[in-house]
Amino acid sequence: MPKLGLTMEGGSVVRWLKAPGDRVALDEPLVEIETDKTVTEIGSPAAGILGRILAVDGARCAVGEGLALVLADANAASPQIQIDVAGDDPRARDGSEGGGAGVVSAPATRRLAERLGVDIRRVKGTAEGGRVLPQDVQAAADSRGVDHGPVEGRQLEGIRRIIADRMTASARDVPQVTLHRPVEIDGAREWIGQRRSAGEAATLTHALVVAVVEALRLHPALNARYRDGRVFEQASVNLAIGVDTKRGLIAPVIRHAEEMAVSDLIRAVSDLTERTRGGRARPDELEDATFTITNLGGLGVHTFDPLVNPPEVGVLGVGAAHATFALVDGRPTAVEVVDLALTFDHRVLDGADGARFLEAVASGVSRLSKKGSG
């Protein structure tokens, strides 16, 4: 198991991309590994033949623990070498962990059996060597008409567990204040049109990112981290963008955003968002954020109170664009706005500091159309 990030202690095998006996080249994608933040393809450490798999699908392994054997071609051809996907590794065979001795199955399959109330010892496996697959467990559940709902609750795992731990720590340890402010986006709409005319796939998210990066340069107290009573203002704006994925909320990071030209920033946000949704963000692209933007506008939410992700000291929530009325030259006029919600660590900033930051974001949005497509 490789170490894919500074804080990584282990990972889970999602699926093997090669089968025992397959020939593999150096660095050829071999297995998908799930860390606490993402799913990553791991390449073969050597050229040869994939031999025995030591960690089956669903197995959780510590960094440095063996996943499989890659054999030299000469050894793989030897009749003494037995290639067996299950092998005799205890992680592939149920035992004292409550699964029924002698049943070959992956940990994920055993968890499914527990959720469905199926005794896995009574399930006939359809895979080679009698290995029990998830569909075997499901078929057993269907055949006896069991309730498919959780029996004793579902254990949070992977990124869901990480999110739970971090948000619990955030709510418990960080005194947080949230300020709400509507921001007119007529200028942003005009800017988006100009960008699209120039061939760029600009959106409201891109417009807000540009405005937020500029505001963070003017208000570095929000572009900071808090640890052990000390505030560390960061020289670079490493902007995290919340992305809704099938695995949960993941926030990839645009590093050194303040140094990017607008066109480069638009491309970076689009590329990283797309790769994150597809599970292809690199582990190093999910670390070292200094500020976060999270947008629920696409889901119809007008306003909400986001939680700070420590050690960051601020997060900006973005709601859905909607029409409202404002007084223009003393007359009620329809305008389009989005509601921004700034949550900040009150140990580091006061309400007036947050209000000035929101004013800077609003001013940046209104000035976007004047910047044109340059």
Active site amino acids: 346, 350
> Per-residue b/e over 125-156, b at no fewer than 16 CB within 10 Å?
beeeeebbbbebbbebbeeeeeeeeeeeeeee
CA distance 178 to 237: 21
Question: Which residue is it, tokens 């198991």?
Answer: 1
Closest CA to 358 of 162, 203, 218, 228: 218
- Per the DSSP assignment, residues forming a β-bridge with 244 are 249
CA distance 320 to 182: 11
| Residue 34 tokens, joined | 């799930």
CA distance 131 to 133: 6
Crossing angle between the packed helical segments 204-218 and 351-371, to the nearest 10 degrees? 130
| Residue 178 tokens, joined | 């949230």
